[in-house]
Amino acid sequence: MSDCNKHKNPLQHYGTSQMQRLLAGLDKNRFAVVDEKGFADWIVFANNYAAFINYYNNADSVSDNWQSFFNTDISAQLGTIAIQNVNRYRAEIIERFDFIKNDENKLSITAIKIKLNELFSALLTLSKAVDEYAQSLPNETILKQNIRNLIQTKLAPALKRLIGYYYASDAAHLNYINPTSLSDWNILNKPLTDAAQIIHTVGLSNIWLFDTTASNWNDYKNEITPDDSIYNDPINGFANDYTSIAHAANHNLFCGVFDSYLVVYSKIIVDAETALLGTLISFNEHAPHYALFLCFLRLYKFAQAHINTITERHLDFYYREVLRLQPKPAVANKVHVLAELAKQVDEYLLEKATTLKAGKDSLNNDVVYALDKDAVFTKATVAELKTFYKASTTDSLLTQNNTNRIFTSPVANSEDGLGAELIGANKEWHPFVHKVFEDAQLKNIAMPKAQIGFALASHYLFLTEGERKVFVRFVLNKNKLKIYEHI
């Protein structure tokens, strides 16, 4: 038998199988579970909650809170990264880009300049947050080295370009930056901080100076030259603030910086989730009190898994116990079998009940199918595929009346019905009629128009010698006379 997996069916069907017709209300996977929190969520919750618990010193007076017990462990640090919502970050960035690109906002130039400053501030804030984790994570974590590598290879080159664009936008002759307002937005557990403050006051560590001649952040930022190329609108140049800023928002180099940061941010979160699970299982350096807390979380997973089945159990109880509905009896599975004969065999009979192996099921049991009737396999193949179509009144076009017009395709499995190569992604073709639609309107029937006629055959016409004249008389039905007017 041939390997059917090598042959992809070009006829794709959607919404027709029973599994695809499953009612959303009966799909247990669509219910909101009772407790959706993971390890990272509970770790961050405990850290935040600890801030409200007073710590009493030996003098029996409040000297601090309990956060220091819950934010220094390696799992706590990884949890604060793993819990990040990269989709929220992406949406915030897109919202600011869309606001700048929208021509309806061109008169709100102050708001546009605030949005532009927030875009710069977002990446600088993310840079600072990543920088702090690169320094604070324990040396034994693989994530720490991964973050340092990502900074040096991906983020540092992008940040250098970003600062050059920021310098140009903040220059006196352009003045595209308005830092008077910043949104309430946390990025990687760090509140949105003005770009100027991070660049000129706070700074970043020397990790970002990779492949430069600078020895400290102050020298590094002073070496960067302003780059106003992204603001140079090809029509207005720098004459119009809105068109220049909108041109930058559509510029590939400027958008590419944000794409680079998004990719790195997403990878850091995924790596943090993997590293966090690793510390829960194989890390032996937890503080005793935090080890007990993590042990509780792992045990709590069993109770969480049980309580999260309540919606499914409630649904089952309602249909089985209250309504007393009974499941339908099992129906044997069916498959279609394709067979290919060996070269030396012209035909072969497979009798009814012949068993065929089909691998193993999810429980690792053998799957066997049996033929439901005798089947004779031969080497007969389909030589040609042709189609015939008679158009109706609905097939007429503005410039062509197709009512009762006949279309035929000598080569049905081709693009034009005449043998042209198929251009579809899956090499699909139309088995009955090839109609072309645009905006839900019929634009063309991509099939050749048929040449209609008839032929006569009779042994009386088998004439061998001499000149013969043959007269043919047609007897027509008067009720169908119109059909024969064109004969």
Tens-digit pLDDT string for the chain (487 aa): 445 555 555 545 554 555 556 666 666 566 677 888 999 999 999 999 999 999 999 999 999 999 999 988 999 999 999 999 999 999 999 999 999 999 999 899 999 999 999 999 999 999 999 999 999 998 888 999 999 999 999 999 999 999 999 999 998 888 999 999 999 999 999 999 999 999 999 999 999 998 888 899 999 999 999 999 999 888 888 888 999 999 999 999 999 999 999 999 999 999 999 999 999 988 888 999 999 999 999 999 999 999 988 888 888 899 999 999 988 888 888 888 888 888 899 899 999 999 999 889 888 999 999 999 999 988 888 889 999 999 988 888 888 888 888 999 999 998 888 888 988 888 888 888 888 888 878 888 888 988 887 888 888 888 877 888 888 887 777 665 555 554 5
Give the pLDDT score at 366.
92
Q: Which two tokens stand for residue 483?
A: 């059909």
Give the pLDDT score at 332.
84
Give the pLDDT score at 485.
54
Place of tokens 């720490």: 144
- Residue 306 one-letter amino acid: H
C-alpha span between 170 and 227 (Å, rounded): 11
Give the pLDDT score at 1.
43
Give the pLDDT score at 242.
92
C-alpha span between 283 and 353 (Å, rounded): 58
- The dihedral over CA atoms of 37, 39, 45, 46, expressed in degrees to the nearest 10, equals 140
Within 10 A of 18 (CB to CB), how many other CB atoms are there?
6
**179 close to 116: Cβ distance less than 8 angstroms:** no
Q: What are phi and psi of 56, to 5 degrees?
A: -100, 130
**307 close to 34: Cβ distance less than 8 angstroms:** yes
Non-local (6+) Cβ contacts of 336 within 8 A are none
Crossing angle between the packed helical segments 86-101 and 241-249, to the nearest 10 degrees: 140
* H/E segment holding residue 370: strand 366-370
Give the pLDDT score at 13.
52
C-alpha span between 304 and 33 (Å, rounded): 10
